[in-house]
Amino acid sequence: MSPSELRTLYLDLLRRPAFDGERKSILDNIQRATDGDPGPASLITGPTDQAGLTKALVASRDFWQQWFQEQLYYFLLVDNFAPHGETMVSIPDELSAGKLDVRDAIHRIALSSSFDQRNPGADTFVTVVMEQLGGLAVEKNRRELEIGKAVYDGKPGSFLGRQGSSQSDIVRNAIEQRSFAEAFLSREYRRYVHAVPDKRALGQWVSSFVADPKCFAELAGSWCASPAYEARFTKREPMDNRLFVRSMMVDLCQREPTPEEFSRLRSALDGLSDPQPLRSVMARMLLDSGQTSVPASKDGLDAAGFVEDQFRHLLGRDPSDKEAVEFAAGLADSDGKPTMIVYALITSPEYQSY
- The pLDDT tens digits of the residues spanning 52-94 come to 899 999 999 999 999 999 999 999 999 999 999 999 999 999 9
Q: How many whole angstroms separate alpha carbon 243 and alpha carbon 240?
A: 5
* Residue 117 lies inside a defined structural domain of this protein: no
* Backbone dihedral angles phi then psi of residue 217, each to the nearest 5 degrees: -60, -40
267 with 218, same domain: the answer is no
Q: Where are the beta strands (DSSP E) in the chain?
A: 157-159, 162-164
259 with 183, same domain: the answer is no
Question: Could you give the percent of the chain with pLDDT greater than 70?
Answer: 97
Q: Could you tell me which residues are beta bridge partners of residue 158?
A: 163
246 with 342, same domain: the answer is yes
Write out pLDDT tens, residues 270-310: 999 999 999 999 999 999 999 999 998 999 899 999 999 99
Residue 275 lies in domain:
241-346
Write out pLDDT tens, residues 125-176: 999 999 999 999 999 999 999 999 999 999 999 999 999 999 999 999 999 9
SS3 12: helix
How many domains does the chain contain in total? Answer: 3
Q: Are 306 and 341 in contact (CB under 8 A)?
A: yes
Query: Across all residues in the chain, what is the average pLDDT?
Result: 94
* Residue 200 lies inside a defined structural domain of this protein: yes
330 with 263, same domain: the answer is yes
Whole-number pLDDT of residue 36: 64
339 with 252, same domain: the answer is yes
222 with 247, same domain: the answer is no
195 with 214, same domain: the answer is yes
196 with 287, same domain: the answer is no
Q: Are 314 and 346 in contact (CB under 8 A)?
A: yes
* Residue 39 lies inside a defined structural domain of this protein: yes
* Residue 246 lies inside a defined structural domain of this protein: yes
Q: How many whole angstroms separate alpha carbon 204 and alpha carbon 215?
A: 12
Q: What is the dihedral of CA 271, 274, 280, 281, to 10 degrees?
A: -40
Whose CA is closest to 110, among 94, 132, 92? 132
Whole-number pLDDT of residue 284: 97
Write out pLDDT tens, residues 218-240: 999 999 999 999 999 999 999 99
* Residue 270 lies inside a defined structural domain of this protein: yes
Contacts of 84 (CB under 8 A, 6+ apart): none
- The model's confidence at residue 250, banded by pLDDT at 50, 70 and 90, is very high
CATH number of the domain to which 338 belongs: 1.10.3130
